[in-house]
Amino acid sequence: MSAIDDLPPLRQVIADHSLSARKSLGQNFLLDLNLTAKIARQAGDLSGTDVLEIGPGPGGLTRGLLSEGARKVLAIEKDTRCLPALEEIAARYPGQLQIIEGDALDVDPLAHLTPPIRVAANLPYNVGTELLVRWLTPPIWPPFWQSLTLMFQREVAERIVAAPGSKAYGRLAVLAQWRCDARIAMSLPPEAFTPPPKVSSAVVHLSALPAPKFEADPDVLSRVVAMAFNQRRKMLRAALKGLGADIEDRLQAAGIKPTERAEQVPIEAFCALARAVAAR
Burial annotation 130-168 (CB, 10 A radius, 16+ → b, else e): ebbeebbbeeeeebbbbbbbbbbbbebbbbbbbebeeeb
The whole-model pTM stands at: 0.93
CA dihedral 6, 11, 15, 20 (to 10 degrees): 130
pLDDT one digit per residue (tens) for the chain, 280 residues:
567 899 999 999 999 999 987 777 667 788 899 999 999 999 999 999 999 999 999 999 999 999 999 999 999 999 999 999 999 999 999 999 999 999 999 999 999 999 999 999 988 777 889 999 999 999 899 999 999 999 999 999 999 999 999 999 999 999 999 999 999 999 999 998 888 888 999 999 999 999 999 999 999 999 999 999 999 889 999 999 999 999 999 999 999 999 999 999 999 999 999 999 998 7
Residue 2's pLDDT is: 67
**Cβ–Cβ < 8 Å for 262, 162:** no
The 8-class DSSP code of residue 28 comes to -
Residue 102's pLDDT is: 94
CA pseudo-torsion sign 258, 155, 56, 115: negative
Helix or strand (DSSP H, E) at 187: strand 180-188
Q: Judging by beta carbons within 10 Å of its beta carbon (0-12, 13-18, 19+), is residue 34 exposed, middle or buried?
A: exposed
Q: Give the length of the chain.
A: 280
Residue 53's pLDDT is: 98
What is the Cα–Cα distance from 127 to 24, expressed in whole angstroms? 11
